Structure 1
Amino acid sequence: MGRRPGEVVLGIDARDPVGSAVDFAFDCARARGVRLRAVHAWALPASASAEWPFAVPERDRATWEDHEVQVLADVLRPWRERYPDVPVLEDVVLLSPVQALAHHAAGAALVVVGSAPGPRSRATVHALLNEAVCPVAVVPDDSRP
């Protein structure tokens, strides 16, 4: 019995997606005939640690997470309509982007990330390249100068 091909994992900041990376990830998943896992990593708002220094109540964390799930679904909607033949798993995780993507890279055929200008994006991409155990495609953001 042959090994089932791994999925394509897309690292996406749902608040500021790199459209060229999303296009590339959907194209790769379609070409390979595999599922696309869209991973949106998020963090609790800074106000949460000030308000609850020991632990955030589950009810509040769940409310914030539900909002993040909706933000990701909204941003992916145009691509899901453009690529109806690509199965998509939306994955919202309360981890750093590098932790979330490195975890999913273990079973992936490819990890796709966008490269936006700025030190945070460069640091994330660099760390991911050191952690990932599968190929990583870094797609430049062609919408910004």
Structure 2
Amino acid sequence: MAGQIIVGVDGSASATAAVEWAAADASRRGRSLRLVHVCEQWSPSLGEAQWPLSLDEAQAEYCAEALQAAADRARELAPGVEVTTDLRKGNVIEQLIAESVSADSVVLGSRGLGGFTGMVLGSVSMAVAGHAAGPVVVVRGPVEAVHGQIVVGYDGSKGARAAMEYAIDQARARQARLRVVYAWQAPLSSPYARAYSSALESAFEQQQRAAREAVTPWREKYPDVELTDEQLCEHPVAALMNASASADLVVVGSRGMGGFVSAVLGSVSRGVLHHVTCPVAVVRPRSERAS
């Protein structure tokens, strides 16, 4: 994938973690980095009389300082990477979605200064992940350990194929293992499930074979990547959560085969974004228009 890695910056700790992740990613994959701070209109509820500057001046000063601090941090971590900054006004979600059209990827913190402290995932990261034209990486906090493994959820759908391409790119750049996870949830909630247990077992075996066969072309196309695959009979979100414990990055498609065609962000990708603590990449096929 060509283009710059775009990072949304707002001065929060979460955004700082995103800058750090993106700087390392840009260095590994030979990309340039552009840090974007979108200054949205602050609420005047505090009263401008409390500020030594006007509200607009105070906001502009804060945004500029936050952006400069982020750029300094990126250059410190990745001295060989070209780092540029972009300070603008407008709606942050709309601006970042527009940026995603030509970007390699968009990297965001899990929640910014505008989010409620108790929320796992902020409205900006959720909206951008759901509507961006390409990969969106959501970073919850600083990377504390390196496991040497990328996890990708794969169900053979168009979104999953795009996710696999991105996961392979990440694995090759990191010289990491790639763990491909396919999860099939049996209808255990049915009162008749026990009577049909043998049929369910047969159905899962068929799913296993199909999933294994679907991975074979990827293994043949990228022999330099250490690729393992597993097929599990459990909810996809639970399977990916468990796999994430030893992952540096979890990659999912924006929606899989089980989602409604009109859904912007599928239930699996939403669940992974909310529950997985390591960085998560949500990948939307480039042929789909951002909406």
- TM-score range, shorter-chain basis? 0.7 to 0.9
Summarize deviations over 1:60-99 as a string: whole Å, max 9, x none: 4443332222211222222212110111111111111111
Counterpart-to-counterpart distance in 1, 2:149 and 2:196: 33
Aligned residues: 139
Q: Mean alpha-carbon deviation: is it higher for 30-39 or for 62-71?
A: 62-71
2:26 is matched with: none
Structure 1 unaligned residues grouped into runs of 5+: none
Residue 99 (str. 1) matches residue 241 (str. 2): no
Counterpart-to-counterpart distance in 1, 2:193 and 2:266: 31
1:76 pairs, out of 176, 198, 215, with 215
Residue 142 (str. 1) matches residue 286 (str. 2): yes
Residues 1-145 of structure 1: pairs in structure 2 closer than 5 A: 5-14=147-156, 16-18=157-159, 19-44=161-186, 49=190, 52-54=192-194, 56-57=196-197, 60-116=199-255, 118-119=262-263, 121-145=265-289
TM-score using structure 1 length: 0.79
| SS in structure 2 at match of 1:119 | coil
1:41–1:97 contact (8 Å) kept in structure 2: yes
For residues 128 and 4 of structure 1, do their structure 2 counterparts lie closer, same or farther at Cα, with a shift above 3 Å needed?
closer
2:251–2:281 contact (8 Å) kept in structure 1: yes
Highest CA radius of gyration, 1 or 2? 2
2:254–2:264 contact (8 Å) kept in structure 1: no
CA RMSD of aligned residues (A): 2.6
Cα shift at 1:124: 2.0
| SS in structure 2 at match of 1:76 | helix
Structure 2 unaligned residues grouped into runs of 5+: 1-144, 256-260
Greater relative CO (CA pairs within 8 A, separation 6+): 1
Paired-residue identity, % = 35
